[in-house]
Structure 1
Amino acid sequence: MSDDGGKPQGWHWHEYSVGVAGEAAGACARSLTAVLIGLGGAFALILGGGILAEENLLGDPGLETAVDHLMRISVGFLMVFALVVALIWAVASYLREVAASRALVAASAQGASRQAVPSPDQVASVVNPPASRLSFFGWGNAVLAGVLGLVGLGVVLFDSSPEGWAIALSAIGYAAIMSLLGYACQQWLPRPHAKRRARIATHWSAEDEARAWRRAKGRGAEPLVSGSPKAAAFIYLAGLICVLGFVALQASMVMRCASIPARGSNECNEVYYSSFIERVLSWGFWIFAVSVPLAALLALIGVLLEWTQRQAERADLLASLADPRSRRPDKDVLAFHSERRMHPLARVAAMLSGAGLVFSASAYMLGQGMGLGSQEVFAQYRTEALAAILVSVALFIAAVIGTAIAGTRGRELRNALMQRWPTIPEQPRDSEGKPTRRNRGLVP
């Protein structure tokens, strides 16, 4: 017999169903986090492409002009998309918290077992301040827009113009709306959330939570969730290649100038080196051009290796659960599969969606003549750009649906693992690296 006696006993954690709306909100929030990472990657590509075009390193004046126009309009789309994605992410995170608390209220009303204590992730959705991300978004935008509006108002008072008044008043109005959003998140939204928490706490007491934690702590120390060493090696190598490519690109430009150009001047005193160094500097652009797709390929290989390992671990865990005499699996494996995770392929799809949407939308708008120029270049690619927009949207939708389906299907396995082999979840750490208390306190 195993050390667990073959059957789950005592208090344990349990993940309760949050319904279709809750699953959709949670999947959307996780996918939008990956989209934000993709937008960060798009920003890095915009910087690289802009440098290449600005320094005339592409070897074709027409191509350099087109790339410059594309990068400039992409910055605007990047800012708009980042703002919209951040807002939707904050709203989806709040809806996930509401769905989790309502699900626990419903479970307690239906007489759920007191020994099946809500999982730490769901407890966090109940005990943490509700709508904290939405509140931060509201107050942050209110401050930025308010400062911009006041500065603009001061300018138009001395130099009145219809455009200036429109911009200043729009910024002040937007700041007022965001202030109202931040106020609502701090004063109005917590009230129903607190009522639901109180109802949940009447069913699961502090002693119930403590017993579930004691049973998990009795199984060993905090796990260190880590993936495949081979996958990590590929991902680290991809990051190293990206850094080396960017350094090579910068060196090919910076080392060419003997001094910093004067203000208002783009020219510098060029320096020439030995034939070997000159040859290395001339390779800077090509090193950068090769390193970006190579790093993407290596990162994809790492993700696939990680996915393959997790699938094998999942199969082993299912076989162990079916055998009452099986030994307790490794704590790191249990910790990973006992918590809800985003599928690695869905994460890649969402990241590609964010980056692809920026450049495809920019290219389409340039082809429509709504940019700074190069309409004749991008007009012939409008169909391709529109197709890329649709593909980017489809990738995001697929990531959300896939994440929701994987989360729903994996709940049975997570509950079985938490019931038979409870494991302490990963703990957040303070500035000194010490673990802090997390996801506890249903009782106010």
Structure 2
Amino acid sequence: MPDQRYLEWHGSQWRVRVKVPQDLRHVFGKGKITVPLHTDSLAKANQLKWAEVAKIKASFEAARKGIPDGGPLMAEAAQLRLQKTINPTAHQSRLASRIDELGGDPEIIDFTEVASGISTPISHHLSAFTTHKAYRIKSAADLERVLGWLKVWLKRRGVPLYVEDIDRKLAGAFLEEFLLRGRSTKKVSSYLGFLREYWRWLKQRGHATENPWLDQDLPKAPRRTRELEPDKGKRAYTDDELAKLLYGTTSGYMPDLMRIAYLSGMRLEEICQLQIKDCTGGNFHVWQGKTANAIRDIPIHTDLKATIEKRSKGKAPEAHLFDELPDMPASRDTRSDPASKRFTRYRREVGVDERPNGKAKSNVDFHSFRRTFIRKARDAMEKANGAFNPWTLADVVGHDDEGVKDVLKLTMVDYPGAASRSAKRALVESVKLPEAPRK
């Protein structure tokens, strides 16, 4: 039988017919959406229908996800606007009818502009943008947060909450008066980056005519004075700090977590994502991570074998190595958050901290285990034992060889392939546990 899905014969030609989901019928004001295909050929109708079906279903998704600014009336306006591309005639009729119903409502101008597509609420396309960028939950939340601040700031100034009303002058004022207050330049730069990307996408899609966040420079760091403490930024642990951390507690999962981090060079999230089946054959198998290079095998250090055996015993292959951690809620896409917070509390309890000039974040953190592993491996490599080289280190920790990629990448990486198992093993084993502090 010929394929007639989403098709309906109407008069003397075919048209697309898609049912409106029950929960959206109050938005679209009907039970079905039809689009004429202007052909009496079933074969041609089958070729044309999919593009129209995709548009209609995209409008359903947008109606569900889009949470416009300005309360219920603006929400209704934004939802009415969705119908414009599907059925312009019905859109115009319903818009006119709704304007008559509103009568003298003071928000009638805003309603008309939004519903007609003249004005675009700031967050109207937020869901489509984050889906397009495949943002992780944290990144999407950061963008939503800074847009929320922007809307609050605009309201205080009496500025409409529309994309079209944000110009370069307003963008600069928002940076100076709000974003730069009480936040580090690095954090402000991150928020500014989200705004630039969102407006760049809006401009690409024809929803904005300019990107007011481009070329908005941030202030330079103040010049050093004699009174400032030296601050070299994030760093590896000293041997004393490492011993304090590794031998400062025997309770819970923290001792195992810290030792694995130090003796493998893995990132915290990589460790927390490990399942029992990822710790077999004498290797840790990292299957995803920060970059493509993060997918790798790391030899399990001799001093970790007993820990892995203990944590694997009696567990299913799909169980997590650190099964004490709670399941991820819908608001998070990283499993390591509870472990990160717990480690920060522990690190401060044992007195491992460095915040020169009262900076908000310490120069030492969980990632310092990874820095320490790399430093120890580099120091061993400098003894010229010939067992491994810088490319081995890059393979083990999942970095690209950025410093020499244009010089020796072909010779040292592309042609010979990844470092050998014996070289990786030699590198991992070169990192030794420190002696326990004397009591």
TM-score under structure 2 normalisation?
0.24
Relative to total residues, which structure has the larger helix share, 1 or 2?
A: 1
Query: Normalized per residue, which structure has more strand?
Result: 2
> Larger Cα Rg: Structure 1 or Structure 2?
2
Higher relative contact order (CA 8 A, sep 6+): 1
Using the size of structure 1 for normalisation, the TM-score is 0.24
